[in-house]
Chain A
């Protein structure tokens, strides 16, 4: 049996498994921190990526996502033999992850029988390998992870802030709607856009420092995703990435965030109680975020950044199988109304809008609406819907003539799509759809990247691609009839990056920058003077 190689970065679309990753990361981080008390949390998290428990959990989660069968008795015996040698090995931890996750699920189901009907249906528990004594220190770590997961098992209730519920008594609802979560920014504000940034890893801080030092943005907008499940410790790590970069560069700027799907895998409470308070805590009380959606409007009223919360209806944190596969998330009714109000206001004034969301309006490679997972209500055209989010299209397409560009994340690359995309014979074309999802999540080049699966939507020609960075990391290999070995291997990851929107005279110019991936190779931060500049300018354009 040979170890299947997976990236050290595996994400789960299943909320229960994502929370399991969070639980294991928490246990591993605490152990590493206790062994290295001088490390900052980000260095600990980065080092943890190479821990055998994390590697084993990644194998477990990836195999579950790939719907591979549960471990067989034969495999368990192999693990027992490995374990009896006293070695730590990802396969031991894979089976331990599998076993203790299921034990934790069973414990929850025993205490909450209702959950048996909510997706926890595959509960056949394999025998524990005979050589897994509970006194083993490794196994004790897994027991701790199981206990931590059980504490997470009932996610927080949705803390989503609906503007309708915030209307003060004696204030007209429509008047309130016009100003709720709307902020004024300077006419020439330079805005940086990040996507899928919330890893909490060291190279993310390094990238932020480079952005702050070299490009001096006035405002940063994050398009969402705090891994693995937006739990308290993970949200703390996300906020501290900015705090650490601000401290080290001596430059702090307002940060606006919308949630992705991962924040809601915990139910979302930490995002709402902590992330929304970032700006006030960093000395920008005028930019204290009121909701998970916002509008940044320039002083002249000619340009607005309109950011929406697509995460809310993308994940059902209660259900282990979430929304049964590919499904296009939708905006909460009142939020769709709030967004359209902002667009109607600008329609009358002639202002232009930049749309911002975590989820994509469309994709060339990621199936958004697997037909068997959705039911169409109205008479929207069914063709091409597998790769188009019809819910978002319905809300925003009437306003595409006043939209300069729509930026989204969710997929972990930079993509410049073909301009003036038409979705059907009658709609107004979208001038520019842009994917900036490569700011933090480490995307292994073996995991797809720029592959095209659908034939409806297209990259711009010539295609703009970010480069790759070779990263060294240690991993186990298992070859039949040979003892397991730990080796250093080099893997290639797509570079990180961001977009910057700058005013050049009367033009709004967008530039797209790359920065080398460092995790899990770089675990310590260099002095400020040694922070590298962006590796390259990938693309620039006038919006």
Chain B
């Protein structure tokens, strides 16, 4: 019997950057596997947010988390939201990025409003071409005084 009202969220980090967990919120449920504090470059992680309880009055898992990286003195971020409600509401998932220069592909997209659990994978594309290289690789130099 499939009674799993969880959200299984997979993040494929192809950005070339290490992502730092900036915040996380649980609206319903609890993490079986929480979002990791960091996601190194070229690493895939999965976490599970499980519903608070089952049965007619239970809630499915619902929450969000935000990851960022710093490059060239600027902060770039991805905010993920996911929801596998029980009974009347619809499943949902979304990703919001700090700039359109951070391409993200979700599978599935679209997701069905019904059916449980919710499984979603976000693949974060390589951002090297979108972020100034010199700033990325020599970040310390930029913060130091330059003399000529």
Contact = CB atoms under 8 A, between A and B. Distances in A.
Contact of A377 (B2, B114, B120): B120
Interface stretch (B32-40, B66-74, B103-111, B127-135): B103-111
A20 interface: no
A318 interface: yes
Contacts of B112: 323-324, 327, 373-374
B109 A377 contact: yes
Contacts of A322: 115
A65 to B, nearest CB: 17
A374 B94 contact: no
A438 to B, nearest CB: 28
A333 B113 contact: no
Q: Which of B2, B92, B108 has the largest count of A CB atoms less than 10 A from its CB?
A: B108
Given A323-B112, A375-B111, A375-B113, A318 B106 contact: no
A433 interface: no
Given A112-B1, A375-B111, A117 B92 contact: no
Contact of A394 (B87, B105, B114, B116): B105
Given A117-B55, A375-B92, A391 B110 contact: yes
Interface string A342-380: 000000000000000000000000000100111111101
A115 interface: yes
Contacts of B10: 333
Interface in B82-130: 87, 90-95, 104-116, 119-121
A101 interface: no
A372 to B, nearest CB: 7
A324 B110 contact: no
A377 B111 contact: yes
Given A324-B113, A328-B110, A377 B1 contact: no
B115 to A, nearest CB: 5
B1 A390 contact: no
B145 interface: no
A114 B56 contact: no
B144 interface: no
A385 interface: yes
A57 to B, nearest CB: 26
Nearest to B104: A378
Contacts of A114: 1, 3, 54
B1 A154 contact: yes
Contacts of A331: 107
A50 interface: no
A316 B110 contact: no
A319 interface: yes
- Which secondary structure characterizes the binding site on chain A? loop
Interface string A449-489: 00000000000000000000000000000000000000000
A318 B110 contact: no
B113 A372 contact: yes
Contacts of B2: 118, 316, 318-319
A72 B113 CA distance: 33
Taking residues whose C-beta sits less than 8 angstroms from the other chain, chain B's interface range is: 20 to 34
Contacts of A328: 108, 110
A337 B106 CA distance: 13
Interface string A101-137: 0000000000010110110000000000000000000
B109 A380 contact: yes
Contact of B115 (A117, A324, A372): A324
A404 interface: no
Interface string A302-346: 000000000001001011011110011011010010000000000
Contacts of A374: 110-113
A161 interface: no
A528 interface: no
Contacts of A118: 1-3
Given A117-B55, A318-B2, A375-B91, A323 B109 contact: no
A386 to B, nearest CB: 11
B110 A385 contact: yes
Contacts of B113: 324, 372-375
Contacts of B87: 117
Nearest to A319: B115
A391 B1 contact: no
A525 interface: no
A395 interface: yes
A333 B107 contact: yes
Contacts of A327: 110, 112
Nearest to A382: B110
Nearest to B87: A117
A175 B55 CA distance: 45
Nearest to B94: A377
A372 B90 CA distance: 10
Nearest to B82: A377
Given A117-B55, A375-B90, A377-B93, A391 B108 contact: yes
Nearest to A330: B108
Given A114-B3, A323-B114, A324-B114, A377 B106 contact: yes
Nearest to A325: B114
Interface string B6-17: 000010000000
Given A376-B109, A377-B111, A318 B1 contact: yes
Nearest to A379: B100
Interface of B: 1-3, 10, 54-56, 87, 90-95, 104-116, 119-121
Report, nearest first, the 10 A-B pairs whose CB atoms are least far apart. A324-B114, A330-B108, A374-B110, A377-B106, A377-B109, A318-B2, A327-B112, A333-B121, A323-B112, A376-B110
Given A321-B114, A327-B110, A377-B93, 7 more contacts: A117-B87, A316-B116, A323-B115, A377-B110, A385-B110, A391-B108, A394-B107
30 contacts: A114-B1, A117-B55, A117-B87, A118-B1, A316-B116, A318-B1, A318-B2, A319-B2, A319-B115, A323-B112, A323-B115, A324-B112, A324-B114, A330-B107, A336-B107, A374-B113, A375-B90, A375-B92, A375-B110, A376-B110, A377-B93, A377-B94, A377-B106, A378-B105, A378-B109, A380-B109, A380-B110, A385-B110, A391-B108, A394-B105
